[in-house]
Amino acid sequence: MKKIIITALVASIASLSSIALAKPAEFQFSTHKFDYQIPKKVTDLCQQRINTAPEEDKEWYTEKQCMRVDIELIKTNYPFIDKVVNGDYNDAKGKKELKQSYDEDAEYVYEELQDKENTKLNQYERSSTLKLIATSANLVQISRDDFEYNGGPHGIPARAFYVFDMQKQKELKLDDIHISPNDKAKLTAMLKQKFINYLKNDEKMTDEEIAHHLAFFGFDITDNFYLTPQGITFAYNVYEIAPYADGFIELQLTNKELKGFVKNEYLNQKFDKFDNRPLSKP
C-alpha cells in the first residue's frame, strides 16, 4: 500500500510539473471599438457650423474635430490580459460610467458649439490604439497610444507598454524583474546617466544646463518599459523628464549592462514576433 501511494504521489508531482512548464497556448490578439455614439444634437450642430463657417475658417471644421471618441479595446484568449489592458472598459459597470462621462463632455462640447464668436473649433478628442508588439516563449508585450484634447494649444499624447509573463499569468513591473531591492537604485543610476548623455550629445546641453534641467524635471526610473532582443527599453511620456516639444523619450539598457541586476529569464529574449519600429527618440 505504501509503495502504491508513493508511486501515485510521484506521478502527480510529475504531472503538475509538466503543466507548470508547458508553453502557453498560442496567443490570440484582436481589437474592437468601444461602443459610444456621440449625441446627434452635437453632430448636427457641428455640421451646421461647418456649413455656415466663413471660407477662411472651414479648414478648422470637421465632424471629428467637434467631438471624437475612438477607443480600441482588446480581446485575447487570456482574460487576465484583457482585464489589465482594457482597465475601466473591461466590465459593464466601468463601460456604463465611461459612457456617462463622455455624455457629460458632449454637453460641454454642445455649449461651446453654440458660441458663434468661437469660429475655430477643435473641441474634444479621446482616442486610444492598441498594438501587439512582441511575443516570445513566455512573454507577450502590448503597446497603447492614447491622445486627449480638450482645447488649448495642443493635445496630450501618452504611450504605455504592457509586459506579461504568461507562465506566471501576471503583468510584469520593474520590481518583478530586478534581482534584489538594491538593484532598483543601481538601475536608476545607470538609466539617469543614459539620459544625461542624451542631453549632452543630442540636445547639446552644457553641464550647467543639464543640472538645471534635472533640478526642474527630476529623474526616476519608470515602470513603463518593454523588453527587446538587445535589452530593456524604458519609455517616458511628454513632460515626465523633458518639455512637451521633446516628445516621447526612450532610454535603453543592454543585456550586458543589465546582467547581474535583472533576472536571467528576462534577458536575451528570443522573440517569435517583434515589431521593431522606431517609436521615439533618442
Please tell me whether residues 148 and 38 are part of one structural domain.
yes
Please tell me whether residues 45 and 113 are part of one structural domain.
yes
CA distance 41 to 47: 10
Element (H, E) at 136: strand 125-136
Final residue belonging to a domain, choices 171, 201, 232: 171
Q: What was the pLDDT predicted at 15?
A: 36
Element (H, E) at 98: helix 92-113
C-alpha cell at 225: 518599459
Q: List, for residues 193-218, the tens digit of each pLDDT value.
A: 999 999 999 999 999 999 999 999 99
Structural domain that includes position 207: 174-274
CA distance 227 to 254: 10
Q: What was the pLDDT predicted at 92?
A: 93
Q: List, for residues 30-54, the tens digit of each pLDDT value.
A: 999 999 999 999 999 988 888 887 7
Q: What was the pLDDT predicted at 122?
A: 64
Which CATH number do you get for residue 107?
3.30.565.40
Per-10-residue mean pLDDT, the chain, length 282: 36 35 69 95 89 76 77 96 95 95 94 80 86 92 94 88 96 95 94 97 96 97 95 96 94 96 92 64 45
Question: Three-state SS for 218?
Answer: coil
Decide: 149 and 122 in contact? Cβ < 8 Å: yes
Let me know if residue 202 belongs to a domain.
yes
Please tell me whether residues 186 and 151 are part of one structural domain.
no
C-alpha cell at 222: 519608470
Final residue belonging to a domain, choices 142, 171, 200: 171
Which CATH number do you get for residue 252?
3.90.640.20
Q: What was the pLDDT predicted at 49?
A: 85
Please tell me whether residues 43 and 152 are part of one structural domain.
yes
Please tell me whether residues 88 and 144 are part of one structural domain.
yes
CA distance 51 to 45: 10
Domain tally, the chain? 2
Let me know if residue 282 belongs to a domain.
no
Please tell me whether residues 218 and 157 are part of one structural domain.
no
Q: What was the pLDDT predicted at 113?
A: 87
Cα–Cα separations (whole angstroms), residue 93 to 75, 90, 97, 100: 18, 9, 6, 11
Q: What was the pLDDT predicted at 121?
A: 67
CA atoms within 13 A on the CB side of 225: 23
Let me know if residue 136 belongs to a domain.
yes
